[in-house]
Amino acid sequence: MSTANKIVMNQDTSNMGGESADKSNSQLRTERKQRLAASLRLFGKFGFDEGLAGHITVRDPEHSDHFWVNPLGRSFKQMRSSDLLLVSHTGEVVEGKGLLNGAAFTIHSRIHMAHPRVTAAAHAHSLYGKTWASLGRLLDPITQDACAFFEDHVLFDDFSGVVLDNSEGERIAAALGTNKAAILQNHGLLTVGESVDEAAWWFITMERSCQAQLIAEAAGKPLLIDAQCARQTRESVGSTLAGWFSFQPLYDVIVAEQPELLE
């Protein structure tokens, strides 16, 4: 284990990656919405937006059969906490103004319904993610960062157009299983987590891992990390805590740069 990992492991992590039981549902809701707005701003900053496509959701802390999502047609780059929609698993917009993205509801409602462990889910049509998805392959463990997804992501190879049918959302949720991510063939990337922070970080680093493998394969034949080492590395860089913690510097920077997102 590296010195950095030893330092993290030796710290009191009781308040890392989790939510305090002392906080009210109202406080937790505010925090989740602010983290969601920050994640969307980061996606915009990194160029993951593509027209109307892309969505991140987080389960409501009080009403577990409802989730918060970005409204259709509002730029990631301008998203505020107050812009978010609260949507039930039946598709009713309970709170907020704006249009509900049909694909966002179809995919995310089925994931949240099928997987109680999933607090948040992220999907966007990012350039390298959708490029890699066109190959119909899983990512290989060619870098330390890519090891976070070793034996922890799946390929959903049943593309049938824009996801507007609940049955396809159910198939995506079933294919995801207990994994942290899915490559939706000819479509893009999907990541989940126990927090918005975690789901957003997995998407960001998965997009970069797709970019790294595309560049490496264009230059030659990448050398794979052996399976045992990849699994050990995943335990360090691919844990829930690692996902949450890796997001914190990004959150701090985007809030400092664009504090209005918290409104």
pLDDT digits (tens, 9 = 90+) for 172-229: 999 999 999 999 999 999 999 999 999 999 999 999 999 999 999 999 999 999 999 9
| Mean of per-residue pLDDT scores for the chain | 92
Residues contacting residue 16 through CB under 8 Å, at least 6 positions apart: 241, 244, 245
Q: Is 155 exposed, middle or buried (0-12, 13-18, 19+ CB in 10 A)?
A: middle
Question: Residue 6: pLDDT above 70?
Answer: no
Going by pLDDT thresholds of 50, 70 and 90, the confidence category of residue 23 is confident
Residues contacting residue 179 through CB under 8 Å, at least 6 positions apart: 152, 153, 154
* Separation of CA 219 from chain center: 29
Place of tokens 């927090």: 195
Place of tokens 């409602």: 109
Tens digit of pLDDT for each residue in 78-111? 999 999 999 999 999 999 999 999 999 999 999 9
- Quick count: other Cβ atoms within 10 Å of Cβ 89? 16
3 state SS of 236: helix
Going by pLDDT thresholds of 50, 70 and 90, the confidence category of residue 152 is very high
Reading the block at residue 225, the tokens are 């990390």
Reading the block at residue 124, the tokens are 């966007």
pLDDT over 90, % of the chain: 87
Reading the block at residue 114, the tokens are 């099928």
Question: Residue 5: pLDDT above 70?
Answer: no
Going by pLDDT thresholds of 50, 70 and 90, the confidence category of residue 158 is confident
> Cβ distance 198 to 148 under 8 Å?
no
Tell me phi and psi for residue 255, to 5 degrees.
-70, -40
**What pLDDT, on the 0 to 100 scale, is given for residue 16?**
54
Amino acid identity of residue 242, one-letter, is A
3 state SS of 240: helix
What is the distance between the alpha carbons of residues 65 and 76, in angstroms, rounded to a whole number? 25
253, 256, 204, 260: which is closest to 78 by C-alpha?
A: 260
What one-character-per-residue DSSP string does 174-208 give?
HHHTT-SEEEETTTEEEEEESSHHHHHHHHHHHHH
